[in-house]
A and B are shown apart, each in its own frame.
Chain A
Amino acid sequence: MSVRDYLDRLTGTGRADTDAGAPGDGAAGTDLGIVVGLMLAVYVVFVAIGVVLGYDTNGIVNALSQVTFLTAVYALVVLALNLHWGYTGLFNIGVAGFMAVGTYTMAMATAAPDARVPGLGLPIWAGIALGMAAAAVIGLVAALPALRLRADYLAIVTIALAEIIRLTYLSSAVQTFTVFGTQLGTGGGSGIGIEADPDTVVVEFLASVPGLNVLFDAFGSVLSGMGVQQSVINNWYYAFVLLVVVVAYYWLLQRIGHSPFGRVLKSIREDEDVARALGKNTRLFKIKSFMVGCSLMGLAGILWFGSYGFINPNTFLPQVTFFVWIALIIGGAGSNTGGVVGAAMFAAVLFELPRYLASIAGDTGGLPSAPPTFARAVGALFDLEPLAFVAYGIDNIGPLRLVLVGVVLIVLMQRRPEGLLGHRKETAASIGLSRPNRSRETTDATAATDGGEEQ
């Protein structure tokens, strides 16, 4: 029996198996199917709930745009974090800090010199580039000393660094300051406005592109004919743009993950000593991976929080980091598709669905008014008025939702620590392990020479 036969029997795949083992290639179709299917399922559930409970069209369409927006921004950050944790095994829980650096730098660079919080008055693209660069530089500063630490120490260092960053932006000492005769500022505790916020700029730009604007007008008139407000339609435009950015992130990270560089990252994750023994300068690889991930987090922060038009330091509390982590863990660390799926599951099912249900329940009425305190709500239970207790729960859906998030996280860590799509078979070899077909063989050969290259 040949090795080939043995492997086939072991994995249960027949000879007719078309998956040539080139990572990502064979699975790409199903991966896209998973993500699109999941998003469609989410939309159907939201629309069905809205229609059954008699919610108005504008409300439903608005909720769907919210879900799409949140899914997209979470997917962006999760994909960036996946480069750190999923590929390189760097336990970074300072995500909020790196997003803060990116977003604040962009805000400070683009704010008008005569605004309440003065800035440099640069155009938005320069602000975005500066923001990404600043996040990468802070990532470098964190990475240089910290990457030799144990995973749990790195966790504590990164979360402490994120808090230092947040407290610095909160400080009144840097509310406004002068560098080389130019006035700059962070706005301190009262925050900083972003006049050229990404969603306005992007939507205005797209509407001005000939050809696209016709499409936009058609889309807009259909929706507004259904009674949807213009602001909601604009949210949809921005959500579409974000989905395109998600695809770009996904493509970039797939490329990184399957390049020789990415293979070294994965070997560091599995066993850093082995990677070092093979002559790889693992420190350099970790620093590069950390910096790239941080700058992607910076951009994600700009597209996410920047689009609100206003940020303050408390936008970047540590719990933002934990939300991103939970999304990553739901999807499965190490899998980019898993990251997107996790982001959708977290944003839609855990984050938006409870709020959506509560707001419908609040709108449609039928419930008694909520008791002011938990003790009164429990008292209502004793008085055989369970509906009053339910009303209290709906009134306090915010905290309950986060309790649910905690429960899901624990159950996942106990039952399925690899997440929904984690730990899929990922071929580390640069040549396919199953019988290659002719055309594949040539591409694999070039990949092999790449892999042997000095890093």
Chain B
Amino acid sequence: MGIADNYSRGRRLLVERPGQALAAVVGVLLVLALFADLAAKLGSGALGVGDVVLLAWRGVVNGLVIGLAGVGLSMTYSILNFANFAHGDYITGGAFVGWAVAWLVAGLGEYDIGSLLSLGLGADVYAPQLGTSIFGAPLALLLGLVAAGVGAIAIALLIDKLVYEPMRGQDGIALLIASIGVAFILRYLIVFVWGTSVTSVADEAGGLRPTVGGVTFSFGYHELTLVVCAVVLMVGVHVLLQRTKLGKAMRAMSDNQDLARVTGIPTERVIKWTWIIGAGLAGVAGYLLILEAGTIAYSRGWILLLLIFAAVILGGIGSVYGAIFGGLVIGLADSMSIIWIPSDFTKAAAFALMILILLFRPSGLFAGRTTA
């Protein structure tokens, strides 16, 4: 594309959509102003380089969790054509199943099975006794990771069978409302079994503390584990969707379901695979989130859900890369906006960002690149 093309495209944008062009200009100016302010704060010593790196690192870690969970939400949104409000509870469900298995494996033979599966709710066994860190019980944690994925997949497939399959023909709003019902059922069954308390399930693992140029950085081992797992899974999803027929079938279905069916794509099987990939990633994301945070609670996934929606919308619904990119942006915005605004408003800032994207660019930043 030549400069002339670019120029005429820009001109057309200015003429046809002055509002959007103005919003874009304001957005760019705002980002520049924020960076100038950041530079000034760094220069005046109000903020250290180490602090900024720490915030950015926290943003990346949270962003990867959001992105990983967002891939599934984005896929179901574009293929089944509804906003799944139960997605956050698939995350929580996977996390609880995964951690129950991790505790069971870590403490089998030494402690009562019921106490282990209750995740210490009866106050008779604690995380430090089991040593549930990646060094203390690597095998238990690995099995827990697998169980989290498998558990979330089982939940999602069962719910698809019972709830969504009989409703295939209905519109997105009906499915959305049904998904709110699913969210209630999952969340409060979890409360029924594990209660509402915030319990500590992962043991401390420490971290790397390199010093570069007189500034000490801190990277927790559990955070690093999360980053490695998330990146590996994202690459895996990329390969799966790009190199296999399944990926092509998914893209076809998100474009036009009826057309996909008449060309011989087994749509029901593709839907099952969508749930398997999406819920599996959600469960693993929940498990890793708990590993990194240390504590588990029934509302963890639900609280994260709006941020995941923000990420998915930012990246463009249906776009897997968009979800990952959106997750990173939302994660960074959530953690780094504390530099400029009071900490009470960081989440509100992320939601506001989502609302602005919905208003000015509802197709997202990666518009038109569905499920790729």
A and B held together in a complex: yes
Using a CB–CB cutoff of 8 Å, the interface residues on chain A facing chain B are 91, 145-146, 149-153, 155-157, 159-161, 163-164, 167-168, 170-173, 322, 325-326, 329, 372-376, 378-379, 396, 398-400, 402-403, 405-410, 413-414, 417
Q: Within 8 Å of chain A (Cβ to Cβ): is B147? A: no
Say which residue of A161, A322, A398 sits within 8 Å of B355 (CB atoms): A161
Asked whether A152 lies within 8 Å of B185 as measured between CB atoms, the reply is no
Determine the distance from Cα of A150 to Cα of B363 in the docked complex, in whole angstroms: 11
Asked whether A373 lies within 8 Å of B184 as measured between CB atoms, the reply is no
Complex A-B, nearest 3 residue pairs according to Cβ-Cβ distance, in ascending order? A406-B184, A409-B181, A375-B114
Question: Which residues on the B side are within 8 Å of A408 (C-beta)?
Answer: 181
Known: A157-B358, A374-B118, A375-B115. A409 touches B348 (CB 8 A): no
Q: Within 8 Å of chain A (Cβ to Cβ): is B259? A: no
Asked whether B342 lies within 8 Å of A171 as measured between CB atoms, the reply is yes
Asked whether A413 lies within 8 Å of B184 as measured between CB atoms, the reply is no
Residue of B nearest to A174 (CB): B344
Say which residue of B117, B121, B167, B176 sits within 8 Å of A152 (CB atoms): B176
Say which residue of A167, A376, A413 sits within 8 Å of B344 (CB atoms): A167
Determine the distance from Cα of A376 to Cα of B115 in the docked complex, in whole angstroms: 8
Using a CB–CB cutoff of 8 Å, the interface residues on chain B facing chain A are 82-83, 113-115, 117-118, 121-122, 163, 166-167, 170, 172-178, 180-185, 187-189, 191-195, 306, 309-310, 313, 342, 344-345, 347-348, 351-352, 354-355, 358-359, 362
Asked whether A152 lies within 8 Å of B351 as measured between CB atoms, the reply is no
Determine the distance from Cα of A329 to Cα of B115 in the docked complex, in whole angstroms: 41
Question: Which residues on the A side are within 8 Å of B175 (C-beta)?
Answer: 413
Known: A373-B114, A373-B122, A375-B117. A149 touches B184 (CB 8 A): no
Question: Which residues on the A side are within 8 Å of B173 (C-beta)?
Answer: 91, 151-152
Known: A167-B344, A170-B344, A406-B185. A375 touches B118 (CB 8 A): yes
Asked whether B362 lies within 8 Å of A149 as measured between CB atoms, the reply is yes
Determine the distance from Cα of A289 to Cα of B345 in the docked complex, in whole angstroms: 30
Question: Which residues on the B side are within 8 Å of A157 (C-beta)?
Answer: 355, 358-359
Question: Which residues on the A side are within 8 Å of B121 (C-beta)?
Answer: 372-375
Determine the distance from Cα of A373 to Cα of B193 in the docked complex, in whole angstroms: 7
9 further contact pairs, Cβ within 8 A, besides A151-B173, A373-B121? A151-B172, A167-B345, A325-B180, A373-B115, A375-B114, A398-B191, A400-B188, A413-B174, A414-B178
Asked whether A164 lies within 8 Å of B351 as measured between CB atoms, the reply is yes
Asked whether A378 lies within 8 Å of B114 as measured between CB atoms, the reply is yes
Asked whether B177 lies within 8 Å of A405 as measured between CB atoms, the reply is no
Counting chain B CB atoms within 10 Å of each CB, the highest count among A164, A167, A375, A378 belongs to A375
Determine the distance from Cα of A400 to Cα of B193 in the docked complex, in whole angstroms: 10
Determine the distance from Cα of A402 to Cα of B192 in the docked complex, in whole angstroms: 10
B166 CB, min distance to chain A CBs, angstroms: 5
Consensus secondary structure, chain B interface: helix
Determine the distance from Cα of A167 to Cα of B352 in the docked complex, in whole angstroms: 12
A388 CB, min distance to chain B CBs, angstroms: 13
Asked whether B184 lies within 8 Å of A171 as measured between CB atoms, the reply is no
Question: Which residues on the B side are within 8 Å of A379 (C-beta)?
Answer: 114
Asked whether A160 lies within 8 Å of B182 as measured between CB atoms, the reply is no
Known: A329-B177, A403-B189. A417 touches B170 (CB 8 A): yes
Say which residue of B118, B167, B362 sits within 8 Å of A373 (CB atoms): B118
Residue of A nearest to B302 (CB): A318
Counting chain A CB atoms within 10 Å of each CB, the highest count among B194, B342, B347, B348 belongs to B348
Asked whether A160 lies within 8 Å of B176 as measured between CB atoms, the reply is no
Residue of B nearest to A376 (CB): B114
Asked whether B184 lies within 8 Å of A160 as measured between CB atoms, the reply is no
Determine the distance from Cα of A161 to Cα of B191 in the docked complex, in whole angstroms: 27
Known: A159-B306, A399-B191. A167 touches B182 (CB 8 A): no
B305 CB, min distance to chain A CBs, angstroms: 10
Counting chain A CB atoms within 10 Å of each CB, the highest count among B113, B121, B177 belongs to B177
Question: Which residues on the B side are within 8 Å of A375 (C-beta)?
Answer: 113-115, 117-118, 121-122
Known: A156-B354, A163-B306. A400 touches B192 (CB 8 A): yes
Say which residue of B83, B184, B352, B359 sits within 8 Å of A155 (CB atoms): B83
Residue of A nearest to B312 (CB): A156
Residue of A nearest to B175 (CB): A413
Counting chain B CB atoms within 10 Å of each CB, the highest count among A150, A168, A417 belongs to A417
Asked whether B180 lies within 8 Å of A156 as measured between CB atoms, the reply is no
Asked whether B176 lies within 8 Å of A155 as measured between CB atoms, the reply is yes
Say which residue of B122, B306, B347 sits within 8 Å of A376 (CB atoms): B122
Question: Which residues on the A side are within 8 Å of B359 (C-beta)?
Answer: 145-146, 149, 157
Determine the distance from Cα of A378 to Cα of B193 in the docked complex, in whole angstroms: 10
Say which residue of A152, A398, A400, A403 sits within 8 Å of B83 (CB atoms): A152
Residue of B nearest to A189 (CB): B344
B370 CB, min distance to chain A CBs, angstroms: 16
Determine the distance from Cα of A322 to Cα of B305 in the docked complex, in whole angstroms: 15
Determine the distance from Cα of A160 to Cα of B355 in the docked complex, in whole angstroms: 8
Determine the distance from Cα of A329 to Cα of B174 in the docked complex, in whole angstroms: 10
Asked whether B183 lies within 8 Å of A163 as measured between CB atoms, the reply is no
Question: Which residues on the B side are within 8 Å of A171 (C-beta)?
Answer: 342, 344-345
Question: Which residues on the B side are within 8 Å of A168 (C-beta)?
Answer: 345, 348
Determine the distance from Cα of A155 to Cα of B175 in the docked complex, in whole angstroms: 13
Determine the distance from Cα of A164 to Cα of B114 in the docked complex, in whole angstroms: 40
Determine the distance from Cα of A155 to Cα of B358 in the docked complex, in whole angstroms: 11
Say which residue of A159, A161, A167, A374 sits within 8 Å of B347 (CB atoms): A167
Determine the distance from Cα of A70 to Cα of B256 in the docked complex, in whole angstroms: 45
Determine the distance from Cα of A161 to Cα of B352 in the docked complex, in whole angstroms: 8
Residue of A nearest to B115 (CB): A375
Residue of B nearest to A410 (CB): B181
Determine the distance from Cα of A159 to Cα of B358 in the docked complex, in whole angstroms: 13
Asked whether B351 lies within 8 Å of A163 as measured between CB atoms, the reply is yes
Asked whether A322 lies within 8 Å of B180 as measured between CB atoms, the reply is yes
Question: Which residues on the B side are within 8 Å of A405 (C-beta)?
Answer: 181, 184
Asked whether B352 lies within 8 Å of A322 as measured between CB atoms, the reply is no
A140 CB, min distance to chain B CBs, angstroms: 15
Determine the distance from Cα of A413 to Cα of B83 in the docked complex, in whole angstroms: 15
Known: A155-B83, A160-B355. A407 touches B181 (CB 8 A): yes
Say which residue of A160, A372, A417 sits within 8 Å of B122 (CB atoms): A372
Asked whether B354 lies within 8 Å of A173 as measured between CB atoms, the reply is no
Question: Which residues on the B side are within 8 Å of A325 (C-beta)?
Answer: 177, 180
